[in-house]
Amino acid sequence: MSDERRPRQELPPERPERAEEPAGETVPDDQGAARLTGRQRLGKAVWPPRVTRAQLIVALLLFVLGLGLAIQVRSTSENSALRGARQEDLVRILDELDDRTKRLEDEKRKLTGQRTELENSSDQAEEARKQTRQKAAQLGVLAGTVAAEGPGIRMTINDRAGTTDSDTLLDAVQELRAAGAEAMQINGVRVVASTYFTDSGGGVNVDGHKIDPPYRFEVIGKPADLEPALNIPGGVVQTLKNKQATVHVTRSEKVTVDALRQAKRPDYARSSSQ
């Protein structure tokens, strides 16, 4: 009877068992919020890496320290190889170094001498070419193959009576050459060493070219020597005046002789140096 009167105690309702969480997946908690698994939390803590400035400085110092140690070890190994060598080997190494130094110095002196020789030969060759060009120009002026200009005189012979012949013109050329004339032309015909004069009815032929009065001379040379040579007693000017011709001579600081002749190759003469 007493047991029946005792009140019944009600048991709490059983909670449903929670299913096992699959690995690597986000499982919602009781309130519905996403909850990370242990593996995900570990990965999130490791990646991405968070490097601070202090860590960078420490890494750089460690790299420099390692590089210095590597260089020191290498230098020590090389020095230790020499330190452990025998005295005979060290003497041999020094002798080889001395011989190599001497060979290099000899090679340097040889190359320096070759350079100096080349520079001197180049200067000599350039000087020879310069002298050759000057000589060629001088010979060209004398041969009449190049134009020339310089101080000199101009002489004009007027002969209306036609009494001036080839001999008179040849005498004038000879007087001018004897006074130092270096280049001349008459009425546009270049006068050279081989020039010849012939008479031609009422005129004169110069190297086969007929020229008529007035006869105009363009002569390059020293004016102070050329003009007096023409005016000496019994000279060209006096002879022409005796033939009723008039002569006018003027000095000039610039006379141009631009009549040219073709260079003629000798038929028989050859240079003795060939």
pLDDT digits (tens, 9 = 90+) for 152-176: 999 999 988 888 899 999 999 999 9
Q: How confident is the model at residue 21 (pLDDT cuts 50, 70, 90)?
A: very low
Q: What is the CATH number of the domain that holds 218?
A: 3.30.70.1880
Domain extent at residue 138: 88-143
Cis preceding-peptide flag for 223 (omega within 30 of 0)? no
Together in a domain, 73 and 158: no
DSSP 17: P
Residue 35 has pLDDT above 70, yes or no: no
Does any domain span residue 195? yes
Total tally of structural domains belonging to the chain? 3
Confidence (pLDDT) at 24: 47
Together in a domain, 237 and 151: yes
* Mean pLDDT score, 127-141: 84
% helix, strand, coil for the chain, step of 5: 45, 20, 35
Q: Domain boundary residue among 143, 158, 186?
A: 143
Together in a domain, 253 and 201: yes
Together in a domain, 97 and 186: no
Burial of 118 (0-12, 13-18, 19+ CB in 10 A): exposed
Residue 121 has pLDDT above 80, yes or no: no
Look-up: residue for tokens 């006074």? Answer: 179
Together in a domain, 152 and 252: yes
Distances (CA, A) of 44 to 25, 48, 83: 14, 7, 56
Residue 232 has pLDDT above 50, yes or no: yes
Together in a domain, 126 and 190: no
Confidence (pLDDT) at 266: 77
Q: How confident is the model at residue 149 (pLDDT cuts 50, 70, 90)?
A: very high
Confidence (pLDDT) at 92: 77
